[in-house]
Amino acid sequence: MDELTFRRTIYADPNTQDPDVIKAAMDDPSKQAFWDEVKALDAQMVQAMNIPVPENFAEKLILRQGMDEFTQRRQKRPWYVAMAASVAMFAGIGYMTLLAGDNGLANDVFAHVSHEYMEKEIMMSGAGVSNDKINEKMATFNGKLSEEIGNVVSANYCYLDKIKSLHMIIKGEKGLISLFIVPDSESKELKEDFSKDDLIGSSFLLESAKIIIVGDDKSEVAKLQQTAKAAFTF
């Protein structure tokens, strides 16, 4: 193999497996030296080309694809899916609003029967509350308490979801029970029976007022309900 062909072949591919080239290098040490030199240059070029890759580049590429996929899917959604989604959303909002009205009142009721709250109320009202005292406050609701409903330890106005109510705390046999009086016109959404954790709530309509009773014992709540039905007049 002549010198020029040898050099050309090596320069074109230093890793050539061409048997003629290999033989020529074996026969001529100067050719082998030339080949080694080119291989060394290639090794240097490999190192020189080995530039650093930006940090977390692979993660970036994967993330970018994920984001792209996400936007693609959003764009690919057919119109009826979008329509269904918006209908569902409005239905959801409507339902939430309904629930919020109801839950708002019920939640406030539960907030007012928490132990901390009731303790504060009882502390402020001192010993017991007489029927006369209660009736002074009942006037707001055009109502009257004419019978004993038990040991009333506190009777105060309080606001349930912006509705003015009268909150009475009654000491029952098994614990404290709360009785709320709210104008019926403003509490129509409240269910008759509701509960949260261990607390049981019950509400009933008595002429123009709604009476809400909350306690942690079902039988006591039911008993007070019967008593209240006879004791209050509106």
Rule CB under 8 A: which residues touch another protein? 8, 11-13, 38, 41-42, 44-54, 57-58, 60-62, 64-65, 68-69
Between CA 25 and CA 23 the distance in angstroms is 5
Phi, psi of 195 (to 5 degrees): -155, 160
Least Cβ distance, residue 84 to another protein (angstroms):
15
Q: Of the two residues 12 and 124, which places its CB atom closer to another protein in the complex?
A: 12
Q: Of the two residues 49 and 139, which places its CB atom closer to another protein in the complex?
A: 49
Q: Of the two residues 3 and 147, which places its CB atom closer to another protein in the complex?
A: 3
Planar angle of CA 197, 219, 234, nearest 5 degrees: 100
Which residue type, as a one-letter code, is found at position 168?
A: M
Q: Of the two residues 8 and 191, which places its CB atom closer to another protein in the complex?
A: 8
| C-alpha pair distances (Å), 177 with each of 2, 112, 116 | 112, 11, 14
Least Cβ distance, residue 220 to another protein (angstroms):
53
Q: Of the two residues 47 and 75, which places its CB atom closer to another protein in the complex?
A: 47
Q: How far apart are the first and last CA of the chain?
A: 122
Least Cβ distance, residue 200 to another protein (angstroms):
45
Least Cβ distance, residue 27 to another protein (angstroms):
22
Which residue type, as a one-letter code, is found at position 15?
A: N
Between CA 168 and CA 133 the distance in angstroms is 11
User: Cα 89 to chain center, whole Å?
Assistant: 17
208, two tokens: 């123009």
Between CA 53 and CA 61 the distance in angstroms is 12
Least Cβ distance, residue 9 to another protein (angstroms):
8
Q: Of the two residues 55 and 197, which places its CB atom closer to another protein in the complex?
A: 55
Between CA 91 and CA 86 the distance in angstroms is 8
Q: CA-based Rg of the chain, rounded to a whole angstrom?
A: 43
Q: Of the two residues 53 and 124, which places its CB atom closer to another protein in the complex?
A: 53
Least Cβ distance, residue 58 to another protein (angstroms):
5
Least Cβ distance, residue 5 to another protein (angstroms):
11
